[in-house]
C-alpha cells in the first residue's frame, strides 16, 4: 500500500505544469475565438430578438422559450440555406407553436433576423 507521500508525489507528477499548461493554453485560445464569434455574430441577433419580443408584447415567462427557438433557428441558418432552411424553420415553428408560442411572432423572428420566410 502507498503512503500519503507516494500518493502526493504521483498526483504532482500527473499535474506537472509542463504537461497541463499547453493543453489549457490551447483550450483558452479556442474559447476566446468562440466567444469572439458569439460576440460578433449571435449577440446582435439576440438584441434583435429582444427588440421584436418587446414590440410584439411577448410575456416575460415566454422569453426563455423564444430564446430557445432563436438558438435552434440560429443553428439552422448556420448549417442550411434556401428551401432546406425554410423546411427546417417551418418544422421549428410548428414545434414551438405546439408548445404554446405565437406562430406570428415565431415567423416574424425567422423573417426579420434570418431572412427565412416561413409559410
Give me the pLDDT at residue 11, please.
Answer: 86
Architecture of domain 4-114: Up-down Bundle (1.20)
The predicted pLDDT at position 21 comes to 75
The domain locations on the chain are 4-114
**What pLDDT sits at residue 25?**
81
Exposure string of 28-62, with b = 16+ CB inside 10 Å and e = fewer, is eeeeeeeeeeeeeeeeebeeebeebbeeeebeeeb
Distances in Å between the Cα of 54 and the Cα atoms of 9, 69, 112 are 59, 16, 14
Report residues of the chain scoring pLDDT below 70.
17, 19
Q: What is the pLDDT of residue 85?
A: 94
Distance separating alpha carbons of residues 30 and 49, to the nearest angstrom? 27
Confidence at residue 24, expressed as pLDDT on a 0 to 100 scale: 79
Amino acid at each position: 500500500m502507498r503512503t500519503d507521500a507516494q500518493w502526493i508525489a504521483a498526483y504532482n507528477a500527473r499535474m506537472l505544469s509542463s504537461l497541463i499548461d499547453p493543453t489549457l493554453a490551447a483550450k483558452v485560445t479556442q474559447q476566446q475565438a468562440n466567444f469572439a464569434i458569439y460576440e460578433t455574430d449571435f449577440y446582435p441577433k439576440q438584441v434583435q430578438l429582444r427588440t421584436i419580443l418587446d414590440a410584439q408584447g411577448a410575456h416575460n415567462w415566454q422569453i426563455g422559450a423564444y430564446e430557445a427557438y432563436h438558438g435552434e433557428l440560429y443553428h439552422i441558418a448556420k448549417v442550411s440555406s434556401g428551401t432546406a432552411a425554410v423546411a427546417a424553420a417551418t418544422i421549428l415553428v410548428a414545434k414551438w407553436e405546439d408548445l404554446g408560442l405565437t406562430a406570428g411572432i415565431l415567423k416574424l423572428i425567422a423573417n426579420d433576423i434570418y431572412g427565412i420566410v416561413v409559410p
